[in-house]
Amino acid sequence: MTGPAHIFDKPNRYIGKPEPRADAARLLQGRGRFVDDEKLPRMVHAAFVRSPHAHAKILSIDTEDARTSTGVIAIYTGADLAEHVTPYVGTLTHMAGLRSAPQHPLAMDVARWQGEPIVMVVATSRALAEDACELVDVDYDELPAAVDSETALDADTPVIHPEFGSNLAWERDVIAGDIDAAFAAPGVHVVEREFRFGRHTGVTLESRGTLCDYDPSEDQLTVYYSGQAPHMMQVIFSKHLGLPEENVRVISNDVGGSFGIKIHTYGDEIATAAAAKLLRRPVKFIADRFESFVTDIHARDHIVKAKMGITGAGTIVGIDFDDLTGIGPFSMYPRTSAIECNQVLNLTGAPYVMENYRAKGRVVFQNKTLMCQYRAVGHPIAMAIADGLLEDAARKIGMDPVALRELNLMADDSYPRTSATGMKLDDLSHKRALRKLTEIMDYQGLRADQTEARKDGIYRGIGFVSMVEVTNPSPMFYGIGGAPIASQDGATLRLDAGGALHVSSSITEQGQGTNAILAQVAAGVFGVDLNRVKVTTGDTATTPYGGGTWASRGAGIGGEAMLLAAQALKDQVLEVAGVMLQTGVEKLDIRDGAVTDLEGNERLPLADLARTVYYRGNELPNDLNPELIATRHYRVTDFPFVFTNGAMAAHVEVDTATGFVKVLHFWAVEDCGRVINPLLVDEQIRGGVVQGIGGALYEECHYSPDGQFMNATMADYMVPMASEMPDITIAHIETPTKTSVLGAKGAGEAGTGGAPAAILNAVNDALSPMGASIWQMPMTPERILTVLDKAAE
Amino acid sequence: MKAPDFDYLRPSSLDAALAMLAEHDGEAMPLAGGQSLMPMMNFRVAAPEALIDLADLTELRGITVDAGTVRIGAMTRYAELMSDATVQAHIPLIGMALPHIAHDAVRNRGTIGGSLALADPAAEMPALMLALDASIEVTGPDATRMIKADDFFLGMFETALDGELITAIHVPVATPAQRFGFHELTQRHGDYALAGVAIAQTDDSYRAAFFGVADRATRVPELEAALKRQDDMKVVLTYLDQIDFTDDLKANHTTRQRLAGVALTRTLKGMTA
Amino acid sequence: MSRSIDIKLRVNGENVSATVPARLNLVDFLREELCLTGSHVGCEHGVCGACTLTVDGDTVRGCLMLAAQANGKEITTIEGLADSGQSTALQAAFTKRNALQCGFCTPGMLASALGYVNAGGAADRDAIRQHISGNYCRCTGYQSIVDAICDVIEETRT
């Protein structure tokens, strides 16, 4: 399938143009509508008593003093809510062997991580609810905790769910070719490293929050939800609170960042809905920053032992690795916590031609906050393994890392094909992307600068990554395994009497510009001015049914649905126009809000057409039944995923006296197929890169040996701030995916997926004259000093 | 993350404030800029019975010069210090350090007195006072006394204050014979430092105060003596052993000692450049 | 001595009188009592900058100031900046550069940016980065924000 040229080339097209977002005006004037901005009559506020222990038996809960505290409306324990909420289990059938235990919104008998909600207090203000929380007396019997993933499977480590007999949640082996033979072959060099990827978390600036309202007269639950997947949450609230699906309305207005944090089932949010139902009034819960740190899903937390074999001439013969991932005490519902590891197994080395591959993944339970899918799921690990080893191998055989990539990257004309792990690949451009990258960064110039600077004792490094990003997932991602997660999305366009378009879509807006690109597609394909399109998203009551926004699917899937719907509406409108103008439909077009001839001469303004249809139907033939509304849905069919690819480079300077790393500049060349709006795509890539830099250099959830989260404040958990971030140069290759007319692949996660590997490689390039290298993220000053010391010994 | 309830008191004179402080017998806390106290209260790690807002105490305001000393009212905000001509002219070290302290919005509220009274070991201001050989003017119900900065900081969040309020800070006017240096190592601009140092050099004598490295801002007399002797830097740095360096998540004591050495070396280099 | 305090202040040019709990911070007061929800709450410990607003012309953290301390003060929130036209140029530049995504940091970021521009700050990228480094943005890479602030400075000084 390729797009008809007129969609993209006609005079009033918007696809591909850097149109500013209409939503910006609201947000810039303080008129956004975030969950905490909503205020309903009789609204009350929730706060939670949370487990201070990583693992403890709950012996008793005394709420007597709290109940008489000022402003308290209700107090619920786990047992109280268990009568009204059915438990949930984070497993999916296609993740063979994955196991997890039933979860309740509030812990029942045992608390399994520090921060797990134990008791809910509802009061007339959040402050009063917190006051009452301090008066709740929970008697705990502290249990030994399984904290460290490396010892989680040891015989003397406490088993978190005794019924499973061990802390193993899931494991999988992927084998292709004969890796042992390949590594043993004459002339093959093997590099081996142990990678450590720290735990980090999303730190959405708007914390998680919900406002739930229950109307008993209609058995109707309305949930204002700061999240990414309204329809998924509709099913979850319905299923576990025992409400008919149609009686649950989930509304996502403005969402202050999500990045995968806000697409899961959190006990405190479910409890809030249950409380609203029980109290028959609106209950609001807004997580504070401490609660966010200890309850928002965490990410990464991998220890990987990996090897790459390479010939003296630079041909990669294979990769062999073992990935150990800690996921907290449960697999998150409903997406599960095994996907991250699975992505590592599937994606490592995916840009490269490779015949031999062996990967083992083990996912283990531990008494820490739950880990689950966060922006660029598994990608930073997969890319750092392959490209980290690749540059290590390049140093070993004395080859330039760009030349080594050139030698091993899949050729741009070799698709469709599969990766070593069997992933179906098409429409990728690794080599063009790498060439463009080295051009825009002036690679040779940087190398010359590096040599000069070293003479003055200044250690700069250049690091690369060639990467893929999973986007536009098909039903094979979740739906096949039984999750209530739609892989298709819908779009509706309605031509109103005034000639404007009202469009709605099941994908959602978290700031990435979903609404803007939907409007661009609708306006451009249908043929009206952009400012005559009004967009509605994020409401299960008013939008078509669909998956929402995750896995970089909004533009590719939601955009395609909008394109198809716009084309359909256009056909319907032209049919009416043909009758009104007594002209063949093939001689008509719609441009700039009017029906025109093919040369663009106006024949009939859309407003005139619509008014005739809506107000003066008597002027139309009786057998004409105008439909000025159209809905279309779209899903990816031929591929499990549509891959975006990219090449990125980092330029860093390492202060060898302090271990501080300064990122001097970053470049990213991305091929996300057709770019709908470069202004939006570019800053999304930059934001992704900065998140990746965060993981590489700053961000880490530190736990004590007994499972206490040690740095749960914004002062101690370091997110990237403006002062230290580099300017980031973006360039595009556009290879439209053949799976859709629009040709758009996802763009939102590549920066986060690729940047850590590029930074790692750049740091190691800088450290190479000292014979030092680092394989642990974040690469803190202390860790860099440590490897420098070790090399100097 | 809401503060526990408290009484809010807003005295209009120093005497009234001191009386309130005494009346609450240790259960009330003075509120200066609030930039450290309010986060502690929001986390509920501080839960005073009452806050005594010092905002209306004119006695705690103003910057004056008299007899070779700059007197800075305790309620002087960081932003005021940065823009004040007297401070710029007579205490250049403060001008060097202030841009590194937090950010604009915090400097617009945070006060010099508040920072000193809190005695956060990572904060810059106590170290500046040590380097500058400042005196802290404190007033209690019965008397006003001067405490040398060297005697003021007793430990982590611990000072020589005894039911008193800081009323002013007295800093000697910089002389032509003096040079100053400041350097801190932070991974992010405006954060507390992993290690930092403030130095005042008078002829061949040095006052070098380290911060972010131990339980309080710290001088090492032997190190300063070694600087005076113009010992080799390798020798100078051995005297850092006398500091009981902090271990925490961002850096262990070994790293901190090393970074303190780097900060010192770089500061001295910058001063002679 | 009381756990609730009577305050009188001016907010976005209007006189406001209220009785507030002593512990109520300024940003919660503005959001909850006055329904000025443009100022956001991100961390409640003074680090993220989402609640940055203007008090007597200076930027402050709205979570690190009590409503009681705002007695007699002149407060300007993002709504006031927009309605009075003070932030018009920045709004246009932020829009043109796509210097916001989710928009949650934006009100605080605009207040900080305006503080920089009004103080005569230069179109110096490093200086701008340093100035806004107390305002956390998780969505953009900060670059577009720096670009937008540079644009405003260059446009107004040429």
Taken in order B118, B124, B127, B129, the sign of the CA dihedral is negative
Give tens-digit pLDDT for A212-255.
999 999 999 999 999 999 999 999 999 999 999 999 999 999 99
The Cα–Cα gap between A594 and A606 comes to: 5
CB of B51 within 8 Å of a chain C CB? The answer is: yes
Q: How near does any CA of chain C get to the CA of B7, in Å?
A: 5
Domains of chain B: residue spans and CATH: 7-53 (3.30.43.10), 62-172 (3.30.465.10), 178-272 (3.30.390.50)
Mean pLDDT of A31-47: 98
User: Quick one: tokens of B63?
Assistant: 């910057």
- Looking at CA atoms only, how far is residue C93 from chain A in angstroms? 10
Q: What is the pLDDT of residue B236?
A: 98
- C157 confidence band (pLDDT: 50, 70, 90): confident
Encoded tokens for A519: 């409007």
Interface of A with C in 487-546 (CB under 8 A): 510-513
- With 50 as the cut, is the pLDDT of residue C1 above it? no
A4, pLDDT greater than 60? no
Quick check: C102 pLDDT over 50? yes
- Name the average pLDDT for chain C: 97
The mean pLDDT value for B152-161 works out to 97
pLDDT at B52: 98
Tell me, yes or no, if A724 comes closer than 8 A to chain B by beta carbon: yes
- What average pLDDT does this structure show over A256-264? 96
The SS3 of residue A412 is coil
3 state DSSP class of A468: strand
Residue B272: pLDDT band (50, 70, 90) is confident
CA B20 to chain centre: 25
Cα dihedral B74/B116/B90/B147 (nearest 10): 90
The answer to whether residue B234 neighbours chain C at the CB level (below 8 Å) is no
Give the whole-angstrom CA distance, residue A31 versus residue B225. 61
CA of A148 to nearest chain C CA: how many angstroms apart? Answer: 29
- Is the C-alpha dihedral spanning A543, A549, A551, A552 positive or negative? positive
**Where does residue A688 rank: exposed (0-12), middle (13-18), buried (19+ CB within 10 A)?**
buried
Residue B45 touches partner A, C-beta closer than 8 Å: no
Q: Give A 275-294 residues with CB within 8 A of chain C.
A: 286, 288-289
Interface residue B100 vs chain C (CB under 8 A): no
ipTM (interface pTM): 0.98
* A638 HSE (CA, 13 A, CB side): 9
Q: Note which residues in 192-211 of chain B have CB less than 8 A from chain A.
A: 192, 194
State whether residue B191 sits within 8 Å of chain A by CB: yes
What is the Cα Rg of chain C in Å? 16
> Whole-angstrom Cα distance, residue A687 to residue A683?
6
At residue A13 the predicted structure's pLDDT band, cuts being 50, 70 and 90, is confident
Is B103 within 8 Å of C21 when comparing Cβ atoms?
A: no
DSSP symbol at A21: P
Q: How far is C65 from chain B (nearest CA, A)?
A: 7
The reply to whether omega before A334 is within 30° of 0 (cis) is yes
**Subunit contact A205:C48, Cβ cutoff 8 A:** yes
Q: Report how many Cβ contacts below 8 Å link chain A to chain B.
A: 59
The residue-averaged pLDDT of A599-627 equals 96
Bond before A640 cis per omega within 30 degrees: no
Largest Cα separation within chain A, whole Å, is 93
C22, B4: Cβ pair inside 8 Å?
Answer: no
Residues of A with Cβ-Cβ distance to B267 under 8 angstroms:
none
Alpha carbon of B46: minimum distance to chain C alpha carbons (Å)? 13
Res B273 pLDDT > 90:
no
* Euclidean distance between CA atoms A760 and A155, whole angstroms: 35
Q: Report pLDDT for A3.
A: 42
Average pLDDT over residues A133-147: 98
- Cα B124 from Cα B93, distance rounded (Å): 11
| CA nearest to C107, candidates A538, A224, A726, A37 | A37
pLDDT recorded at residue C156: 87
Distant-in-sequence, close-in-space partners of A180: CB < 8 Å, separation ≥ 6: none
Q: Which DSSP string corresponds to chain B?
A: --PPP-EEE--SSHHHHHHHHHHTTTSEEEESS-TTHHHHHHTTS---SEEEE-TT-GGG--EEEETTEEEEETT-BHHHHHH-HHHHHH-HHHHHHGGGSS-HHHHTT-BHHHHHHHT-TT-HHHHHHHHHT-EEEEE-SS-EEEEEHHHHEEETTEES-SS-EEEEEEEEPP-TTEEEEEEEE-SSTTSPPSEEEEEEEETTEEEEEEESSSSS-EE-HHHHHHHHTT--HHHHHHGGGGS-----SS--HHHHHHHHHHHHHHHHHHHH-
Is B259 close to A781, i.e. CB distance below 8 A?
A: yes
CB contact under 8 A, B192 and A715: yes
Q: What is the pLDDT of residue A477?
A: 87
| B82 reaches A (C-beta below 8 A) | no
Q: Which of A183, A537, A173 is nearest to A345 (CA)?
A: A173
Q: What is the mean pLDDT of residues A23-28?
A: 97
Mean pLDDT score of chain B, rounded to an integer? 97
Least confident span in A36-40, A67-71, A93-97, A174-178: A93-97
In terms of Cα–Cα distance, which of A452, A395, A467 is closest to A767? A395
Chain C residues within an 8 Å CB radius of B34 = 64-66, 69
The chains found to touch C (3+ Cβ pairs under 8 angstroms) are A, B
Q: Do C91 and A256 touch (CB under 8 A)?
A: no
Asked if the Cβ–Cβ distance from C42 to A207 is below 8 Å, we say yes
Mean pLDDT value across residues A698-702: 98
Q: Which of B10, B39, B79 sits opposite C64 (nearest CB)?
A: B39
Chain A residues lying within 8 Å of C91, measured CB to CB: 24-25, 28-29
Residue B8 φ/ψ region, left for φ over 0, alpha for ψ in the -120 to 50 degree band, beta for the rest:
beta
**pLDDT tens readout for residues A518-555:** 999 999 999 999 999 999 999 999 999 999 998 899 99
**CB proximity list for A413: less than 8 A, separation 6 or greater:** none
- For residue A638, the model assigns a pLDDT of 87
Residues of each domain in chain A carrying CATH 3.30.365.10? 5-32+488-634, 298-475+638-792
Q: What does DSSP assign to residue A29?
A: T
Q: What is the mean pLDDT of chain A?
A: 96
Establish, for the pair of chains A and C, how many residue pairs have beta carbons separated by less than 8 Å.
187
Within the 710-739 window of chain A, which residues sit less than 8 Å (CB to CB) from chain C?
713-715, 719, 721-725, 727-728
State whether B43 and A715 contact (CB < 8 Å). no
Residue B262 at interface with chain A, using a CB cutoff of 8 Å: yes
pLDDT value at position A11?
Answer: 55
Going by C-alpha positions, the residue among C105, C60, C64, B41 that lies closest to residue A127 is B41
Which residue from C minimizes the CA distance to B47? Answer: C23
CATH number of A35-143+207-255+262-295: 3.90.1170.50
Q: Does the CB of A657 have a partner CB in chain B at under 8 Å?
A: yes
Q: Kindly determine whether residue B9 and residue C1, on different chains, have CB atoms separated by under 8 Å.
A: yes
- Asked whether the beta carbons of A48 and A291 are under 8 A apart, the reply is yes
CB nearest A781 (choices: B1, B189, B251): B251
Smallest CA–CA distance from C48 into chain A, residue? A714
As a whole-number percent, the residues of chain B with pLDDT over 70 amount to: 100
Which of B1, B2, B259 is nearest residue A658 as measured by Cβ atoms?
B259
Strands B153-155 and A110-111: unpaired
Q: At A12, is the pLDDT very low, low, confident or very high (cuts 50, 70, 90)?
A: low
Percent of chain A with pLDDT over 90: 97
Residue B43 sits at the chain A interface (C-beta within 8 Å): yes
Q: Which of B7, B9, B39 sits opposite C45 (nearest CB)?
A: B39
Q: Which amino acid appears at position C95 of this protein?
A: T
Which fold is adopted by the domain A5-32+488-634?
Aldehyde Oxidoreductase; domain 4 (3.30.365)
Say which CATH class A298-475+638-792 falls into: alpha beta
* B128 and C CB contact within 8 Å: no
Question: Pairing mode, if any, of strands B205-211 and B63-66?
Answer: unpaired
* Cβ contacts of A24 on chain C, cutoff 8 Å: 91, 94-95, 98, 100, 103
Distance from CA of C32 to the nearest CA of B (A): 14
Mean pLDDT on A404-431: 97
CA C80 to chain centre: 10
Q: Delineate the domains of chain C, giving CATH numbers in brackets.
A: 4-82 (3.10.20.30), 87-157 (1.10.150.120)
Q: Does A207 touch chain C (CB under 8 A)?
A: yes
